[in-house]
Structure 1
Amino acid sequence: MDEFVDAVTSRFKSPYFGYALLAFFALNWRGIFLLTVTDASPQDRLAAFDSVTDIYTLLILPLLTGAAVAASSHWVRFVFGLIARKPLELIDNMHLETEHKKTIRQTELEQSRTELFALKEKELIDRAKRDVEVAEISDKSLKQKLSAEIESLRRERDELSKKTHEIQLSKEAHELLKAAASNKNGTIMKPQTINKRSIQAGGLIFGSESQRDFVKYEAALDELVNHDLVKDRGYKGEIYELTHSGWQFASAL
């Protein structure tokens, strides 16, 4: 008996009979409703059920519907798979591009760190060589004076290097600072015109492509002002000049 029940259960769990059963309830819900809620004798309820059902809705159509849905379900899944494949590929490509850019950025940072350590090592070697050269000077007063001047320059260099690493500037701020330092006047201009807005430094023009591009470099100029690297020399916020700190910072870049 248990084997019979299991066999019947497994049959009804198959996709074909499941779809047929759903089709049966969908086609005969009126008759099932009348059969269950009508307050009458069993004969009257059966008569009400028979009045809205027939052999087609009870057997033929559910079996045909189940067969059609079961046969087409794989094709439906295939079509939806084709539709979803393109966006899924785009999403995968987007993740790959993000990882690729992240890897490139990490490589650039590691390379910059390696170059920085190499420069520091070279600077230490150069300092040691200068110390040897100073030690070979026979004139004691000249040696002491030269040693004091070199030590003063080294302290200034170390303080500037420390300050350079403490101040974190954006890429656009670095561009403006370098461009301004390339000119002996060290000026940055932000002319106020109605038609076109831009920022000019060292013979270069920044932020002229669009309003979004302009406000990006305008924010970079505000960075330089906040860090006391440039100072407003005009009355309308149109002319800026590098400060002493700005010149030192630019020379350390």
Structure 2
Amino acid sequence: MKDIFDAIDSRIKSPVFGYFLLSMIAFNWKPIFFLIFDDGSVVDRITYFDEHTNFLTLFLYPIGSTFLYILCYPWIQYASIWISSKPTHLKITQNLKAEHNKILEQKRLEDSRNELNKSLEQGIIDQAKRDQKLTEEFKDDESREKVQSEINSMRAKTALKAKVSDFSLNDGHMKILLIMSEKNGISSAKELVNSSGFKYIKSQHLINQLLENDYLSIYNTNYGGGDFQYKLTDKAMKEIVESGLAD
């Protein structure tokens, strides 16, 4: 007997049976509602139920909808999984593309760096060859040292020009030049730092850059109290006029 009840219990718990039961209620909800909740006699309720239900609504339609559910549910589940997996797939693809582009960019930068190093190494080799040739051609120490000194001076000037050409004035530099312009082109170091509105380290850094790139020059080293004066160069005056800072 226990086996029979267990078998019945497993059938009842089956999702197919549950869907069949839901289908039958859906097709016959009005007669079932009347049968359970109407205030009339039991005979009247049963009679109403019999009149408004039949084999089709009680068995055939629910069984048909259950079979349809059995056939369609796996496909609906598959479609649901496929749709939900698309965003994940797109995200993974996007991450892979980003990683691929990152690797390509790193390779490009590495190739550029290798090319630059190769060019620098070749320049060092060529310079060493020229120095060796100079040593071989000029046997006299004095002549060789003179020529080497001239070459070193030329190289230093070339390096300085390259450094200067890479320099460009920013807003901080222009503010320093404007202050100098308002002070008729000459200002003490302390006045210039105090008037800049920047902290001391930044002000001094900007001033040093202007000195290195020939926008300022040291005018008076004995101004008083251990202070000294800066002066605008012709290059700075030209920049101030062309930029419209001096009316």
Q: Flag the structure with larger Rg.
A: 2
In the superposition, the TM-score normalised over structure 2's length comes to 0.45
Q: Which has the higher helix share?
A: 2
In the superposition, the TM-score normalised over structure 1's length comes to 0.44
